[in-house]
Amino acid sequence: MVDCRQKHSWLRALGSADMPVRIVLDGIEYRHVRTYKHDFFAATGLYESDCGRAILKLGRTAPLFGLPMACLGRWLTGRELAIYRALDGVDGIPRCLGSWGETGMAHVFVEGHPLQRREWVDDEFFPALQRLLDELHQRGIAYTDLEKRENILVDTQGKPALIDFQIAWWWTADGNAPGRRLQRWMPDRLGRLFLHKLQAADRYHLLKHQRRHRPDGLTPEQIALSYRRGSYVEIHRRLFWPFTLVRRMVLKCLTGQARSPKQDGPDFAEPSVSTTAHRSPKAPEDASTR
């Protein structure tokens, strides 16, 4: 029987290879514990040492039908690494541990679990997440991936954390952001327009999640806003939903699974960390699509 990793290796960032068994960060050796996700663009895994646990994310290195793709992996990793470093010390952003290898970066593991479907979080969870998002926006960063509930972590103290800045948009007037250096062909006015639109989408997705998890903390006006996607979100859905459907059909035909593994649900969390969703009788049943 042919190994699926060999047969469909072009779907994996590292091809038929697995994540390294051991890595060294700042002179400390970490051992591979498990691979959370291995998709087209990146592979993400958990590592541990006597000093603690870390997440290693490796950008794509495997060629695609003979075309080199390591340059894409280096570019995406470089952008994300720069954002993590710029947010060093911000409460709710895991501490960056630096680069590893050609296309790798690492950060401290957040002890906790991804926000679960219909989980009833603490009263201060969404106000804290709002402050975290405001901090990003004040620094000229749009998170852009808040639609995915699995990117929002609930730590062991019930506080929010954000991970995965692979597609974040960073634009500053002084040109110090990676996006500004790499996209000098783009007029500043257009770059700032994208920033404002993407930040508005961040705020919409935040309200949407709060409506689904803690609607009692929203005013009627905010609840109404949580249903208004805005032009950017609507255009994004109309443009990319067909591609998502095609991607799922291809994955289903090739691998038997319509979706890549997601950082969502008890299967993602560590066995030692409780991922039971704290539901309340007040928790809403929201049947609307994400």
Residue 290 is assigned to a structural domain of this protein? no
Number of domains in the chain: 2
In this prediction, residues 100-120 reach a mean pLDDT of 95
Residue after which a domain boundary falls, among 84, 109, 134: 109
Res. 274 pLDDT band, cuts 50 70 90:
very low
Provide, rounded to the nearest whole percent, the portion of the chain with pLDDT above 90: 63
Same domain, 118 and 42: no
User: Are 268 and 262 in contact, with CB atoms under 8 Å apart?
Assistant: yes
- DSSP calls for 160-211: EEE---TT-EE--TTS-SHHHHHTTTS-HHHHHHHHHHHHHHHHHHHHHHHH
Question: On the CB side of 127, how many CA atoms lie within 13 Å of its CA?
Answer: 6
Same domain, 280 and 136: yes
Res. 284 pLDDT band, cuts 50 70 90:
very low
Same domain, 132 and 148: yes
Residue 210 is assigned to a structural domain of this protein? yes
184-221 tens-digit pLDDT: 677 888 888 999 999 999 999 999 999 999 999 999 99
In this prediction, residues 7-18 reach a mean pLDDT of 85
Q: What is the pLDDT of residue 234?
A: 63
Residue 4 is assigned to a structural domain of this protein? yes
pTM of the model: 0.81
Q: What is the pLDDT of residue 228?
A: 87
Residue 228 is assigned to a structural domain of this protein? yes
Same domain, 277 and 196: yes
Residue 19 is assigned to a structural domain of this protein? yes
Same domain, 54 and 176: no
Residue 266 is assigned to a structural domain of this protein? yes
Q: Hey, which bits of the chain come out as E strands?
A: 22-25, 28-38, 42-49, 52-59, 96-100, 104-108, 112-114, 141-142, 152-155, 160-162, 169-170
In this prediction, residues 39-66 reach a mean pLDDT of 94
261: which 2 tokens?
Answer: 């593994």
161 pairs with which residues across the strands? Answer: 153
Same domain, 271 and 131: yes
Same domain, 142 and 275: yes
Same domain, 50 and 158: no
Res. 5 pLDDT band, cuts 50 70 90:
low
Same domain, 260 and 117: yes
Residue after which a domain boundary falls, among 109, 141, 176: 109
Which residues form the domain of 31? 1-109
Residue 247 is assigned to a structural domain of this protein? yes
Q: What is the pLDDT of residue 238?
A: 60
Same domain, 164 and 212: yes
DSSP-derived pairing of the beta strands 28-38 and 96-100: unpaired
In this prediction, residues 148-162 reach a mean pLDDT of 96
Residue after which a domain boundary falls, among 109, 130, 147: 109
Provide, rounded to the nearest whole percent, the portion of the chain with pLDDT above 70: 73
Lowest pLDDT segment from 93-97, 179-183, 247-251: 179-183
- pLDDT surpasses 60 at 237: yes
Same domain, 89 and 3: yes
CATH number of the domain that residue 10 is part of: 3.30.200.20
Closest listed residue to residue 110, CA positions, set 54, 45, 28: 54
Same domain, 81 and 150: no
43 pairs with which residues across the strands? Answer: 38, 58
Residue 126 is assigned to a structural domain of this protein? yes
Q: What is the pLDDT of residue 23?
A: 97
Q: What is the pLDDT of residue 273?
A: 37
